[in-house]
Amino acid sequence: MPDSQPQPPHSSSSSSGSSSSSASGASGSSGSAGSAGSAGSAGSSGSSGSSGSPSSSGSPSSGFPGSSGQAGDPAALLLCGARLTDGRTVDVRLGGGRIEAVGTAGSLAAGGVRGCGTRVDLTGYLLLPAPAEPHAHLDTALSAEGDGPASYEAQEVQRRATEAALLQLGHGATALRAHVRVGDVQGLGALAAVLQARRSLRGLTELTTVAMPRVLTGVAGADGLSMLRDALKMGASVVGGCPDLDPDPTGYVEAVLEVAAEHGCPVDLHTDAADPARLARLVAMAGGLRPGVTIGPCGGLSRLPDETVRRTADQLAAAGVTVVCLPQGSCGGTDQRGTAPVRLLRAAGVRVAAGSGALRDMSNPVGRGDPLEAAYLLASRYGLRPEDSYDAVSSSARAVMGLPEVRVEAGFPAELLALRGDRLAGALSLAYSRIVVHRGRVVARTSAVREYCNSAAAVELGLPRQGRGALS
């Protein structure tokens, strides 16, 4: 959908209401079905198999018309005229995957293009720390569009996972945590396919995986435990699962925590959290575990009495357990819908992040995977301030994933999102034009243009007009 602003910089004129999306180094558009092409094609332009550092990727804004400069450090990038949330208009110089300097508009370009590398004009854009996606299901993403049940054939899973990751990159998420089922029919095949997608996307986005076994107790649990340990050896970096689906939920949590302690991995569990006594046992067992425990989506908390929720929130805060809510809907890991009571949890001191959950699979056939939509819903439906809503999909989401903090200040990682607009509230409402920076280079751009037909109102108000050949 288009925004209500005139044509953004670096893009050619489009017809009324049109939008385009592209990912640097990826095959095709990141915002359209089938854009990833064949499995593993993403990142083929100097990205696949590389370290992903800016210096190994060539020009940081390759493929993005309107940026200027060929001389100087090819990995250097100067973002000119960006607006910050505090109202300042600044230039931001990036290099070596980090923010090197932030100065008043025009101050960092005094040496000319040759001294600062490639320049990108961000006049009219709001510059923010990039979002991160803490709760994705890439193995089932985009599967609702096919006929019949989702295919778990390796090449198909890799294709869907790659395309879904590119779509979310186009929305602004430069890091994703993907929950992947292991065991049952798919065995370790789906995980292997998602890990292959991660390798092909290196340099475009950071992708980590959560191994999700179905059963970990009883006779069947022995196979699940073996599969879980094999998944970690393959490359999964987080231990997860759905204790609510195991015949012995408490035993399931005990097994997960034991394996996580063995491997030094974080824990990220699916739970509806509708049973306060069961949740209290989970929290008691998880308290103090390092590198940390995350649970979500916890929609069942919203159906409990307020006093029970307050008591549970205090327990979560004391144990340092993080909650990831899913404002856009549920996911395949839980059967119930609803969003955790984010204001009450935050008031108790619980870290709350927000994810997207299902992306056009059978759990949510219209899921968008857009972190800005999650932030918008937290603000419009659940009463958070725009700043707190965006924190849930950016700073708090990165903390959940063990990623370093990002600020638009010198020395911080160059993980940034530029949105057409000048205020955060307006950007959450109508930010369709986006420029995404990962490791100091532009990796995706979505341009949206709104134009109007010839009319007296268009002339009087000075509205952008349709190009030649359009209806008048």
Question: How does pLDDT run along the chain (472 residues), one tens digit per residue?
Answer: 444 343 434 433 333 344 556 665 544 333 333 333 333 333 333 333 333 333 333 333 344 434 544 444 557 899 999 999 999 999 999 999 999 999 999 998 765 544 567 899 999 999 999 999 999 998 887 777 767 677 778 899 999 999 999 999 999 999 999 999 998 877 899 999 999 999 999 999 999 999 999 999 998 899 999 999 999 999 999 999 999 999 999 999 999 999 999 999 999 999 999 999 999 999 999 877 777 899 999 999 999 999 999 999 999 999 999 999 999 877 655 555 678 999 999 999 999 999 988 778 777 777 788 999 999 999 999 999 999 999 999 999 999 999 999 999 999 999 999 999 989 999 998 888 999 999 999 999 999 887 777 777 767 777 665 554 444 4
Amino acid at residue number 293: V
Per-residue b/e over 57-71, b at no fewer than 16 CB within 10 Å? bbbbbbebeebebee
Question: Which residues are CB-contacts of 328 (< 8 A; sequence separation ≥ 6)?
Answer: 356, 357, 364, 367, 368, 370, 373, 374, 377
Cα 294 to Cα 235: distance, rounded to the nearest angstrom: 19
Positive or negative torsion for Cα 388, 392, 394, 400 = positive
Question: Which residues are CB-contacts of 419 (< 8 A; sequence separation ≥ 6)?
Answer: 125, 126, 128, 172, 372, 427, 431, 433, 434
Cα 425 to Cα 101: distance, rounded to the nearest angstrom: 26
CA distances from 410 to 97, 198, 413 (A): 12, 29, 9
Q: Specify the pLDDT at position 267.
A: 96
Q: Tell me the pairing of strands 18-23 and 441-449.
A: antiparallel
Cα 122 to Cα 435: distance, rounded to the nearest angstrom: 9
Backbone phi, psi, residue 143, to 5°: -85, -15
Cα 67 to Cα 178: distance, rounded to the nearest angstrom: 33
Beta-strand ranges (E) seen in 231-312 are: 238-241, 267-271, 293-297
* DSSP string across 2-44: --SS-PPTT-----TTEEEEEETTSSS-TTSTTTT-STT-TTT
Question: Which residues are CB-contacts of 258 (< 8 A; sequence separation ≥ 6)?
Answer: none
How many other CB atoms sit within 10 Å of the CB of residue 280? Answer: 15
Q: Specify the pLDDT at position 20.
A: 56
| Backbone region of residue 42 per phi and psi (left: phi > 0; alpha: psi in -120 to 50; beta: other values) | beta
Positive or negative torsion for Cα 424, 430, 434, 438 = positive
Strand partners, 437: 416, 442
How many other CB atoms sit within 10 Å of the CB of residue 19? Answer: 17
Structural contact between residues 374 and 355, judged by C-beta atoms closer than 8 angstroms: yes
How many other CB atoms sit within 10 Å of the CB of residue 53? Answer: 14
Tokens of 386: 């725009």
Q: Tell me the pairing of strands 133-136 and 125-129.
A: unpaired
Of 165, 159, 151, 167, the residue nearest 39 (C-alpha):
159
Positive or negative torsion for Cα 415, 418, 419, 422 = positive
Cα 265 to Cα 259: distance, rounded to the nearest angstrom: 8
Q: Specify the pLDDT at position 472.
A: 40
Cα 102 to Cα 322: distance, rounded to the nearest angstrom: 32
Of 343, 356, 299, 345, the residue nearest 322 (C-alpha):
345
- Burial class from Cβ neighbours inside 10 Å (0-12, 13-18, 19+) for residue 276 reads middle
Cα 2 to Cα 11: distance, rounded to the nearest angstrom: 14
